[in-house]
Amino acid sequence: MNIELRHLRYFVAVAEELHFGRAARRLNISQPPLSQQIIQLEAETGAKLFHRTNRSVQLTAAGAQLLSDARAILLQVEQAADRAARLHRGEEGGLRIGFTSSAPFTATVSDALYRFRQRWPQVHIQMQEINTHQQLAPLLEGRLDLGVMRNTSLPDGLHHQLLLSEPLFAVVHKAHPLAGAERISVSALASEPFVFFDPQGGTALYSDILALLHRYHIKPYITQEVGEAMTILGLVATGLGVSILPASFRRARLSDLVWLPLREEDAISELWLVWSAAREQSAQMANMMALLQSNRR
């Protein structure tokens, strides 16, 4: 069969109006072409669709069935076109984002996610918590659309933009002798038992903070190695040692911890937005990137 959507639209107009003249005016065409289209449709279906007399037009049983089916088909086409348009505009679809454990603690990220959800509630956001180094391969391979990670060496094919440059803080137990200080130098931690990241964990903060200490000729006395920053905070809160973490983790608000600013001007850590240069950016990606970049600090 060679039935086109226009055949169905013309047929529905005639079937609803039961008058070729009114249907032609509704379709903004002349009556002879409309009659010809209905004749073609009857020829394609092999069924008589209308009983026609000089005074009336009535649907046959075949015509009544086709009217029901044609309405459903036209509605499906309209809905499919609408879904495609909404997907193209980024109003539907999905978005896969990798993020480090500290990212949700930053207002830059949390505010952008909230605003995105309010504006595009039909977009499914799949958040995957993985450390900086573990995000690189999924971004290159297309298993992640965007990555929110700490500053690191990126392979060819990945682009980045700075989202946040935040200070690093010393973290001590509230009963620690340093807890009453307003500001300290990293050298004050040189002989302290240090709670730190496991070097096999793959977090960029490990090398970031070690590099800071090494710049000031400090070799930390590491007594506890763990995989996650929140575990570091928990162990410091029990008095097992001290640590250094980005300011964003202060939002965890553990009452047994004291956060001490560091005097060193280079005691900072950066949060990056990373994406593949080789992949076409979807509207969903572009919308999220715009919100994150508008929140840059």
pLDDT tens column, 153-203 = 899 999 999 999 999 999 999 999 999 999 999 999 999 999 999 888 767
Look up tokens 């279906």; give the residue.
45
CA distance 82 to 76: 10
As a 3-state breakdown, the chain gives helix, strand, coil percent values, each rounded to 5, of 45, 25, 30
| Predicted local distance difference test score (pLDDT) of residue 88 | 83
Q: What band does 296 get if pLDDT is binned at 50, 70 and 90? A: low
Cβ contact 163:112 at 8 Å: no
| Predicted local distance difference test score (pLDDT) of residue 268 | 93
Cβ contact 155:167 at 8 Å: no
Can you give the pTM of this predicted structure? Answer: 0.74
DSSP string, 144-200: -SEEEEES-PPPTTEEEEEEEEEEEEEEEETTSGGGG-S-B-GGGGTTSEEEEE-TT
∠ CA 164-246-239, rounded to 5°:
170
Cβ contact 64:56 at 8 Å: no
Q: What band does 116 get if pLDDT is binned at 50, 70 and 90? A: very high
Task: Report the DSSP pairing between strands 268-276 and 146-150.
Answer: antiparallel
How many whole angstroms from its chain centre is CA 40? 49
Q: Is the model more confident about 216 or about 91?
A: 216
| Predicted local distance difference test score (pLDDT) of residue 152 | 87
Helix or strand holding residue 99 (H, E): strand 93-99
Q: Is the model more confident about 23 or about 251?
A: 23
Q: Which residues contact 276 (CB under 8 A, 6 or more apart)?
A: 139, 140, 142, 157, 158, 159
Average pLDDT in the 193-222 region?
Answer: 89
Domains and CATH numbers, the chain: 5-89 (1.10.10.10), 94-296 (3.40.190.290)
DSSP string, 184-231: B-GGGGTTSEEEEE-TTS--HHHHHHHHHHHHTT---EEEEEES-HHH
Cβ contact 197:150 at 8 Å: no
pLDDT tens column, 127-156 = 999 888 899 999 999 999 999 999 888 999
| Predicted local distance difference test score (pLDDT) of residue 218 | 93
How many Å from the N-terminal Cα to the C-terminal Cα in the chain?
A: 62
Torsional class of 105: left (φ above 0), alpha (ψ -120 to 50), beta (otherwise)? alpha
Average pLDDT in the 208-220 region?
Answer: 92
Q: Residue 217 pLDDT > 90, yes or no?
A: yes
- The count of other CB atoms within 10 Å of the CB of residue 164 is 24
